[in-house]
Amino acid sequence: MTSNSCAVRKAVIPVAGLGTRFLPATKAMPKEMLPVVDKPAIQYVVEEAVGVGLNDILMITGRNKRALEDHFDRVPALEATLEAKGDITKLDAVQATSGLGDIHYVRQGDPKGLGHAVLRAKQHVGYEPFAVLLGDDLIDARDTLLSDMIEVQQKTGGSVVALIEVEPSQISSYGCADIEDIGEDGYVRIKQLVEKPAADEAPSNLAVIGRYVLHPAVFDVLEHTEPGRGGEIQLTDALQVLAAEEGEGRGVYGVVFRGRRYDTGTS
């Protein structure tokens, strides 16, 4: 274990996925723009990052994702219309989306998997710890998962994943973690990570969900990570390497989340 005094300032949000599960709703619209109550799903994720001080946000985008950029941009004509009408509530709501953080965009190019998407962030992130938030998981704003994970990253100097307990029959939809209790309050050490194991081969029923706080050492590992499950470069496989090694930026830890999570990928 090494301590790491470099603060976490940046969030990476992969949004290049095709959203095939939601067709035809996502034929011409990014799945991240599907509304959840009164906002597109992606806005909750960006608000979560900004809410814990991660104002520098990089979205890994792809073709047909331009609506995402438009959503977080200013729309002067719309703002002027709302102002002229005196509709301050809507004006505030519209302006709030363009005032959220400092958002950057890079395209993934080839759809080679989550590990490949995260590797596209290497240049922007540089050599500092960073968070990864997947848009399929929405975490209730009253829960403190991401800030707890940042704390664990700062304490351990390694990488941190979020875990939930699932029914054993569900584990094949997730990365799965074999853990060790190291007597710490609030986190465990990850001994092994396996991407989407069959139920009878899974080392546990602890599933990795879409929040990560990673040491930048993961980039060098990802550069050498061969395609794994589904022929894709898996973030889980790169983290497994970091979990098994010792030294600077090595070690992977898990925060078991028991709060409120909404899975937009299956609902």
Q: Is 114 in the site for ligand G1P (CB under 6 A)?
A: yes
What the block records as the tokens of 65 is 């994702």
Report in angstroms how near the CB of residue 87 gets to ligand G1P at its nearest: 37
Using CB under 6 A as the binding rule, whether residue 134 contacts ligand G1P is answered as yes
The rounded distance, in Å, linking the Cα atoms of 250 and 68 is 34
Task: Evaluate whether 159 touches 239 at the Cβ level (below 8 Å).
Answer: yes
| Residue 11: strand, helix, or coil | strand
Q: How far apart are CA 33 and CA 24, in angstroms?
A: 14
Binding window for ligand G1P (CB under 6 A); candidates: 49-57, 102-110, 118-126, 130-138:
130-138
User: Which one, 90 or 261, has the nearer CB to ligand G1P?
Assistant: 261
**Cis peptide bond upstream of 24, omega within 30:** yes
Which residue of the chain is nearest ligand G1P when measured via CB?
175
Tokens describing residue 210 = 């879409």
Counting contacts by CB under 6 A, is residue 233 touching ligand G1P?
no
Q: Looking at the DSSP assignment, which residues form a beta bridge with residue 195?
A: 175
Sign, CA dihedral 75-78-82-84, equals positive
The residues with which 194 forms a beta bridge, in sequence order, are: 176
Region from 24-32, 49-57, 139-147, 207-215 binding ligand G1P, contact rule CB under 6 A: 207-215
Question: Closest approach of Cβ 161 to ligand G1P, in Å?
Answer: 9
Using CB under 6 A, pick the residue from 48, 56, 136, 148 that binds ligand G1P.
136
Based on the shown chain and the rule CB under 6 A, indicate whether residue 48 belongs to the binding site for ligand G1P.
Answer: no
Task: Provide the mask over 146-185, with x wherever binding to ligand G1P is found by CB under 6 A and - wherever it is not.
Answer: ----------------------------xx----------
CA distance from start to end of the chain: 39
Stretch binding ligand G1P (CB under 6 A), from 22-30, 95-103, 146-154, 203-211: 203-211
Sign of CA dihedral 242, 243, 249, 253: positive
Where along the sequence are the contacts to ligand G1P (CB under 6 A)? 114, 134, 136-137, 174-175, 195, 207-210, 234-236
